Amino acid sequence: MTLPEIFKTNKIATNQDEAFALQLITQSAQAYQLMKLRKLEESKIPTGLKTIKVTVTPSEPLKYSFADPLISVSIINDGTGSLSAWINGENDNPSAMLESGENISIDMKYPVIETLDLKAIDSNCITRIIGKVGRRG
C-alpha cells in the first residue's frame, strides 16, 4: 500500500496480519522505552554511602575516581587553606570553591558523578568527602 492510498483509505495495513504485526512492533517499542525509564528512575535510589578523608596539597592536586558513580556529594574543607573542587573535570572553572571550614553539597539527582578533582590553593587541606552511591541505569 502506498502513502497516498493510506491517506485516502485511512488504513495502514491491508489485512489483519499486517495490522497485528504493526501493533506488535509499536507495543514492543513502547515497552522498551518504559523499561529504560524504569531503570533510570531506579538509578536514583542510593545503594550506599562512600566516605573518604584525604589531604590535598597545593603541589599535588588530587583526582579521585569512584568505582560506582555518586548521586550526590558533600565536600567538607577541614583544612586551614582554600580548596577548589571539580566534578567530572568538566571545564576550567571549578564546580566549587571552599574556604577553610566551609562545606558544600551537590545533588545531581542521578548517579553521574564519576570523578572529583581537588586542589588546595594556599596550604594543605584535610578534606572529607561523603557521597551517596548509585547504580548505573
Q: What's 53's domain CATH number?
A: 2.60.120.10
Nearby residues of 56 by Cβ (< 8 Å), 6 or more positions away: 62, 79, 83, 118, 119, 120, 124, 125, 127
Phi, psi of 54 (to 5 degrees): -135, 155
Question: For all residues of the chain together, what is the average pLDDT?
Answer: 84
Average pLDDT for 76-91: 87
Neighbours of 136 (CB within 10 A): 11
Q: What is the pTM of this model?
A: 0.69
Give pLDDT tens digits for 22-75. 888 888 889 999 998 888 888 788 888 889 999 998 888 889 999 999 999 999
Q: 112 and 55, same structural domain? A: yes
Q: Give the domain extent around 23.
A: 3-42
Q: 75 and 19, same structural domain? A: no
Q: 74 and 17, same structural domain? A: no
Domains: count for the chain: 2
3-state SS, residue 69: strand
Q: 54 and 30, same structural domain? A: no
DSSP state, residue 108: -
